[in-house]
Structure 1
């Protein structure tokens, strides 16, 4: 089941900090479910590239505040929670494009799995190609296979987790505070990877709420 809804305060995206509880969690949960499924169904049924781009662009604009209000407290077992995670990943890139590209490069170099292939960032990896990768994943939600998009996002998160851990190791001898921050970020990316993979599985077996 979904966690109790939380009314988030938007802060720098890399913190992943969304707090302040709602007095009506059940009503909030129902609203989150209804709006997320309505958005998905509407965009898929219209099949208009301009509509898709506007929906994808919510991650970079003030529309994300409205999405956070509705979806940020929902679990990965829900469509709302899965979509929120994808939008948040895109906002992280907006908040630190150079750092995001660096983490991806480090993580891809350290990976011993096919995650870099599944994620599919264009070479050379630049802030622009990472932003485009996140946009492509979001487009896939509304124009392709949702399970595939979530799995691709999970691979992206595993790479970013490895990258953050690698950079934390490099910073450890020089800046303990930054190293600790990066270690926390690595764990959060790893958690997101598990959440998104679980969301893909639930989509395929029909249990995504």
Structure 2
């Protein structure tokens, strides 16, 4: 639970504080306003053209319960309303500063605050997808050098994945940082489904890079044992090295598996968005 203080007149919950902080600190306006016991407008009625309508206010029952703490249903409603409001606010703004502030929402508001609102949302929901996009950007920027190398391993020759993701054949760490911003900003100011497909293609290639690295480690581990046997080396040293490499390879495969699931979430989210069913 975050210790970030709530804004005046807001609920004492950290989740409500996150919404309030986003509104006051990032200048996103009333579309991402704080939650008060009286219940204020928290989301617009539409997400752009031909999008399904959403309630403009929290239900009175939810609003009345804020002062005494939030139940899971209330948090879920806040999660969906805040995601819809944030997306709609940026799409209807012509101020590039608004886009910049939304990009850095995790840094300015805090990952714990955003997590309280969105991290438990289902992957096939708007808040769940936005949470994954924000975490993808954070991960890419924090590990840009390693990710650039994994991309080159997973995509040694440019394929359609490079074209979809918008990545050069041999990206640098600066390219990865720019791509992280481009994917997330594209979700707010461009075609949301295209942004998700770019994210999915990128994650797929990085996952492939991890699997290739894991395979090389496993092969190296086997070679160490064979070499030790052939040269009469210390079997204990060989066994330790083999165990270390196989353990690291297993971790890489586990991470790759998680990334593949995330890529599928992005693909599915893109399909839902195009059908008007990502809410």
Alignment TM class, shorter chain as reference: 0.7 to 0.9
In the alignment, the residues of structure 1 paired with residue 129 and residue 136 of structure 2 have an alpha-carbon distance, to the nearest angstrom, of 11
Match of 1:52 in 2: 99
Larger radius of gyration: 2
- Do the aligned partners of 2:123 and 2:265 also contact (CA within 8 Å) in 1? yes
Correspondent of 1:199 among 269, 273, 278: 269
Tell me how far apart the structure 1 counterparts of residues 134 and 157 of structure 2 sit (CA, whole Å).
Answer: 26
* Structure 1 residue 86, shift from structure 2 partner: 0.9
Note the aligned Cα RMSD (angstroms). Answer: 2.1
Task: Indicate which of 78, 84, 100 corresponds to 2:125.
Answer: 78
Q: Is the 8 A contact 2:162 2:168 kept in 1?
A: no
Per the normalisation by structure 1, the TM-score is: 0.83
TM-fit CA distance, 1:62: 5.2
Report the alpha carbon displacement of residue 121 of structure 1 after superposing the two structures with TM.
1.6
Q: List aligned pairs for 1:1-209, cutoff 5 A.
A: 24-60=71-107, 63-109=110-156, 114-122=160-168, 124-172=170-218, 173=221, 175-209=245-279
Q: Which runs of 5+ in 2 are unaligned?
A: 1-14, 16-68, 222-241
Offset of 1:37 from its aligned partner?
A: 0.4
8 Å Cα contact 2:99-2:185 kept in structure 1:
yes
Matches of 2:201 and 2:116 in 1, distance apart? 27
Q: Deviations over 1:7-60 (max 9, x none)?
A: 9xxxxxxxxxxxxxx983222111110000000001111121111011112245
- Paired position in structure 2 for 1:3: none
Number of aligned residue pairs: 188
CA pair 108-60 structure 1, distance change in 2 beyond 3 A: farther
Runs of 5+ unmatched residues, structure 1: 1-6, 8-21
**TM-score w.r.t. length of structure 2:** 0.63
- 1:145-200 CA-to-partner distances (Å, cap 9, x unmatched) read 10110011111111111011111112222511211111011111110110001001
Q: 1: CA distance between counterparts of 2:272 and 2:119? A: 19
- C-alpha change, 1:166 and 1:56, in structure 2 (3 Å) is same
